[in-house]
Each structure stands twice: as structure tokens, then as C-alpha cells.
Amino acid sequence: MRERYYSKVILFGEYSMIFDSTALMVPLKKFSAQWRFASSAQGSTASNASLKRFAEYLSTLNDAEEIFDLQRLNRDLRYNLYLDSNVPSGYGLGSSGTLVAAVYDGYAKKNNDDLLALKALFGQMENYFHGSSSGIDPLQCYLGKPFKITPKNVEILNDGFLHKDIHICLIDTKIKSNTKPLVEHFKAQRENPEFLKRFQTEYLPYVKKCINAMIWNDKKLFFSSLRLLTKGQLEFLRPMITDNTLELFTADYDFNFGVKISGSGGGGYVLGFTDDVDATSNLLRDFEVVWL
């Protein structure tokens, strides 16, 4: 087993992933999870009980006995195995993703090097928590490296791929997000042909431009694309934007600064991007901010 499983941030592509479009992920090492054995059952009650329920769910998956060593997992759970995690729940940082990655890493009978196949398996595993999962969050938590993902490829990126003048922060909404109803709402919207057409032709290109500009280290293109993406989120993903951060999405700034939802939205963190840390810190002085 690995020592730690790090949380994640979806920089771009939360809802576009539902369309098998491009997404960009990075690890967030401020938060992590690790396996521990409690000295007594009382020391691990909540996590241990949750893992026991998850193990029961895993046993219902196709080929579960071939994929997982469920006998060893259940034995360890009887000996008070638990996941010690400081990843905040409901914040879009991968609290369930770290758990899925840890269980696979610790109890898969053999590791799968096919990352797209692994993503599909992780999606089945994480469905337990969200009802419907792309599997991308656990893949990030498992790999612990930044990557760009498309329907046909996972491209691992260098840890230092980010432009030195593009700084990223997490803005705390102080609201816990519930992924499942937001995703279900979005999927219901997707059934509207007009919404679907406009989302694909107007919104998805903004996502791809932001990702490409960030990877290409084109700061000017990045911030101009981010402004369009922010407007797109106001139009297509308004229920995912909290009222207490709405002004950050609608205001005009005299320096390079922009925001977008993180994870499913509806709470948790909002992502901020800037090339002026001092001006941004002053702007966000009433929020709790974590810089990546």
C-alpha cells in the first residue's frame, strides 16, 4: 500500500466530462488519506463501518472476486482497518476518490496499466457514493500526478507544467456540496435538445481553450478564455454557483483574475486564477483562501 493518497482538483472539465470531453486534473497535496489500524474498534468506528458497507457493495460488481481480494479486505476490516483522511467531504476535492484509490491500490489482486480501463472500473466503484461517476477523480487520486484526459487518452503531465505567472487558489464557500442532485439536474437539462446543442457548441470549446492555453503556457489566451468560460458557467451552470460567490463571477476586474466552479459546484471551493497574488488576496480578504 502507498503511504498516502492525495486529494485532487479538477482545474477544467467538471461537467464536460459527462460528454467525454477534455478535462485537466492536478493533485492537491494539502489534503490526503492513509490506511491505519486502530488500537480499538472505538477508534475507527465511522470509517471502518463505512468501509465495511463499501466492501459489501464491491462484492456485487461483475468479476469482483477476480479483481479484488475481498477476503483479505474483510479480514483487515475486522481488525479495525480504517482510512485516516483530512480531505474535506462535500468540497469537490476527492474525499470518495481517495477512498476508491486506496481500496484499489491496497486490495486489487493485480494492477491494471490500462488507464482508461482503470478509469472505467473506478467509475463503477465510485458509483456507490455518487450514483454516477466518471471515475476520473479516483484515477487522479490513484496516480497522484497531473494529467489531461480525453475520451481516447490519458496524458500524464510534468509536475511543473503550470505557467509560473498563473497562480491558482481555492476560495471557501463554507457550504458543503452534494454532488448527486447537481449531476442529476445537469443530466436532466441535457435532455433538452436546445440546451445540449448550445452546451456542446458554445461551452465545451471554452473548456478546451482554457486547458490548451494553460498547457501551452499562453497567459494572454488563458485569461481571455477564462473570462468566456466564467460567463458560460453563469449561463449553463448557474445552479452550481453559490449566492455568496456570485459577485466573483459577475464582476469586471482591472487585473487578470477569474473564477470557476470546482467539482460539481453548489458549494465547496471555487477556483480562482490570477497573475497578481497581492491584488487577488486583497479582493478575497473576506474569504478563506488556499493557494495551490
Whole-number pLDDT of residue 156: 94
pLDDT recorded at residue 91: 84
* CA atoms of 207 and 256, how far apart (whole Å): 18
Cell matching residue 144: 497522484
Residue 86, pLDDT score: 94
Residue 146 makes CB contacts below 8 A (sequence gap 6+) with: 24, 25, 26, 27, 156, 157, 158, 159, 161
- CA atoms lying within 13 Å on the CB side of residue 1: 18
**pLDDT-derived band of residue 187, with 50, 70 and 90 as boundaries?**
confident
Residues of the chain with CATH 3.30.70.890: 167-291
Residue 271 bridge partners (DSSP): 170, 260
| pLDDT confidence band for 14 (50 / 70 / 90) | confident
What pLDDT score was predicted for residue 42?
Answer: 65
Residues 72-114 have pLDDT tens digits of 999 999 999 999 999 988 888 889 999 999 999 999 999 888 9
Per-residue pLDDT tens over the stretch 44-69: 788 999 999 999 999 999 999 999 99
DSSP H helices in 134-267: 136-143, 179-190, 193-198, 204-215, 219-236, 246-250
Average of per-residue pLDDT values in the chain:
91
Q: Are 12 and 24 in contact (CB under 8 A)?
A: yes
Q: 5-156 architecture in CATH?
A: 2-Layer Sandwich (3.30)
CB 163 within 8 A of CB 214: yes
227-260 pLDDT, tens digit each: 999 999 999 999 999 999 999 999 999 999 999 9
pLDDT at 43 exceeding the cut of 70: no
**CATH 3.30.230.10: which residues of the chain?**
5-156
Helix (H), strand (E) at residue 26: strand 23-37
Which set of grid coordinates corresponds to residue 30? Answer: 494539502
Higher pLDDT, 152 or 130: 152
Residue 132 has pLDDT above 90, yes or no: no
Residue with cell 460539481: 264
Look at the domain 167-291 and name its fold: Alpha-Beta Plaits (3.30.70)
State the pLDDT at residue 182.
85
Helix (H) / strand (E) containing 71: helix 70-78
Q: What is the DSSP letter of 264?
A: T
pLDDT band at 160 (very low <50, low <70, confident <90, very high): confident
How confident is the model over 192-235, as pLDDT tens digits?
A: 999 999 999 999 999 999 999 999 999 999 999 999 999 999 99
Residue 6 has pLDDT above 70, yes or no: yes
Q: 173 CB contacts (<8 Å, ≥6 apart)?
A: 242, 244, 245, 267, 268, 269, 270
